[in-house]
Amino acid sequence: MTTVKEILDAMSNPSDEDKALVEKAYEYSKKAHDGQERYSGEPYFIHPAGAAKALAEYDMDAVSIAAGLLHDAVEDGRATREDIEKEFGKEVLFIVDGVTKLGKHRYHGAERHAESLRRLLVATASDIRVLIVKLADRYHNMRTLDHVPEPKRRRIALETLEIYAPIADRLGMGKMRSGLEDLAFPYVDPDAAHHTAELRKLKTKETEVSLTNVQKELKHELAKKGITTFRSDIRMKGLWSLHKKLRRKQDDINQIHDIAALRIIVPSIEDCYSTLGIVHSLYRPLPGEFKDYIAFPKPNGYQSLHTTVVTHDAGIVEIQIRSEAMHREAEFGIASHMSYKQLGKGVEKLDKQAQKSMFSALSLSWIRSFIPSLMKVSKKEGGETHGPVKIPNWLEELAAAHNEVANSKEFVEGLKEDFFSHRVFVFTPKGDVIDLPVASTPIDFAYAIHSDLGNHLSGAKVNGKLVSFESTLGNGDVVEIIRKDSARPTKKWLEIARTSLARRHIRTALGMGENEKSPSRKNFKK
């Protein structure tokens, strides 16, 4: 049984208030689930307590952890919504409600359909913590899947692999993604999981020696060049992702060089590139295997430098180089933006506001980008390797709504109220919709399309008229970017740009470190 102390210990610098909230929720939930059992015969409370601990490990805030503790307390009627609100506040109730809705979203007939869906969208979009608590819920269920009866067990594992892990990936939560995948894999395909584990063990033994040698050599070289504050570790590829890669490479393990990789974590972006230089001068890189995910992040925001080199004892190894901030982001994704407690109260307030709009952007665009793959999953019914996947109702309804949006006036009006108050939707000259936070500028627009367009932005037309870079974009504006090879970002752009995406690219283009604060951030401080 997870104790409340374990949860509190997993939190980073909780305030007394935070601790009190979590302690209260722990006791409350324990009472609410008293006498209920899991399939294993253990007390039901181990589940919410386990989910809450995962949330704490993910550095989520006290409100999310409290909601994790309470997420099943209302559903079975032991606690009332009114009670939760009175005891724990609106925010906690909102998340508990959202998670409950995600759990058992049902079709209620045509006219109520759009409305319930709208609520659902609003719930996840206006507070992404709903989805994160849902992931923690699933994560703990996967860890205790052994006790669930067979047909149900397989369905849950499949659903985890095909739906929840991609959601975690989409949110940039790499640690959660690989955790979910590797918990589910053995239930979905026990033979393949066993085979992959054996292969990984064998291959790791081979590379371990060269990796340790590389680690030593590099430490020495880096120190010579003045880089002394760094840490490195050996990261193992997850079983499921290794399995997928093996299938892509015709089961030839010798074509896979990143089963075990050396990860080097340095303080700043500059250090990343200097370290890369040192690595490449020590070892010959394999051509075509170098990837600069710092300049070109993956769609979910992942940043690192990846290179594959031939080491002196002829072993081929992958080396991943990233900054501390990138590392945190890669492990925790969106959750890594949730707390900046160390920055002090004022900034924390600001961040939440700023983040709220970021989260809503993310879930909206996430939903859009996710739906095509969702449709594919549902079409894959009876498909090659994994058989039919049952899509959770709530996602099925999201997918259905995607086609319905244009037809439902109510839905569109509802969206307008909830989203348009902090988002603007503008168009490219070709008619593609770009979704930006309110008060975005042509600079944000250009970077939202492509970093190259942003970096060579020389002028902008809104609805056919030339405008200044400071002008803010409104709903329905058609924005045309004028690109010139000679155009370059200036420091002033940092004050103008509204999105963190644009600011990040501008800072990179200006050669500034990621830790340097942009001036506009200071301006936000009240």
Question: Could you give the residue numbers annotated as active site?
Answer: 75-76
Report the chain's C-alpha Rg in angstroms. 24
In this complex, which beta carbon is closest to Mn ion, that of residue 144 or of residue 455?
Answer: 144
Angle between helices 62-70 and 16-32 (to 10 degrees): 0
CB of 370 to Mn ion, least distance (A): 22
CB of 75 to Mn ion, least distance (A): 8
Q: Which of 256, 319, 249 is nearest to 284 (CA)?
A: 319
Q: Which of 328, 348, 360 is nearest to 131 (CA)?
A: 360
CB of 119 to Mn ion, least distance (A): 20
Q: Which of 501, 500, 496 is nearest to 520 (CA)?
A: 496
Q: What is the DSSP letter of 143?
A: H
Q: Which of 107, 109, 105, 11 is nearest to 63 (CA)?
A: 11
Decide if 188 contacts 160 (C-beta within 8 A). Answer: no
**Which stretches of 148-254 are DSSP H helices?**
150-159, 165-170, 174-188, 190-224, 239-248
**471-489: b or e for each residue (b if 16 or more CB lie within 10 Å)?**
ebbeeebebbbeeeeeeeb
Decide if 128 contacts 103 (C-beta within 8 A). Answer: no
Site string for Mn ion, 349-368 (x = CB under 5 A): --------------------
Q: What angle do CA 438, 443, 448 make, to 5 degrees?
A: 75
Span near Mn ion by CB under 5 A; candidates 65-73, 289-297, 335-343, 430-438: 65-73
Site string for Mn ion, 70-89 (x = CB under 5 A): --x-----------------
Site string for Mn ion, 238-277 (x = CB under 5 A): ----------------------------------------
CB of 366 to Mn ion, least distance (A): 22
In this complex, which beta carbon is closest to Mn ion, that of residue 73 or of residue 502?
Answer: 73
CB of 299 to Mn ion, least distance (A): 29
In this complex, which beta carbon is closest to Mn ion, that of residue 71 or of residue 507?
Answer: 71
CB of 83 to Mn ion, least distance (A): 19
Q: Which of 96, 313, 288 is nearest to 209 (CA)?
A: 313
* Cα distance between residue 502 and residue 448, in whole Å: 7
> Is residue 204 classed exposed, middle or buried when 0-12, 13-18 and 19+ CB atoms within 10 A define those classes?
middle
Residue with the shortest CB distance to Mn ion: 137
In this complex, which beta carbon is closest to Mn ion, that of residue 183 or of residue 211?
Answer: 183
Span near Mn ion by CB under 5 A; candidates 22-30, 66-74, 276-284, 482-490: 66-74
In this complex, which beta carbon is closest to Mn ion, that of residue 59 or of residue 137?
Answer: 137
Q: Which two tokens stand for residue 301?
A: 């925001």
In this complex, which beta carbon is closest to Mn ion, that of residue 106 or of residue 201?
Answer: 106
CB of 246 to Mn ion, least distance (A): 33
In this complex, which beta carbon is closest to Mn ion, that of residue 148 or of residue 222?
Answer: 148
Count of helices and strands (H, E) across the chain: 23, 11
Is residue 97 close enough to count as binding Mn ion by CB under 5 A?
no
* DSSP conformation letters of 73-127: TTTTTSS-HHHHHHHH-HHHHHHHHHHHHHHT-----HHHHHHHHHHHHHHHHH-
Span near Mn ion by CB under 5 A; candidates 67-75, 151-159, 166-174, 278-286: 67-75
Identify residues 123-162 at the interface with Mn ion (CB under 5 A): 137
Binding site for Mn ion (CB under 5 A): 72, 137
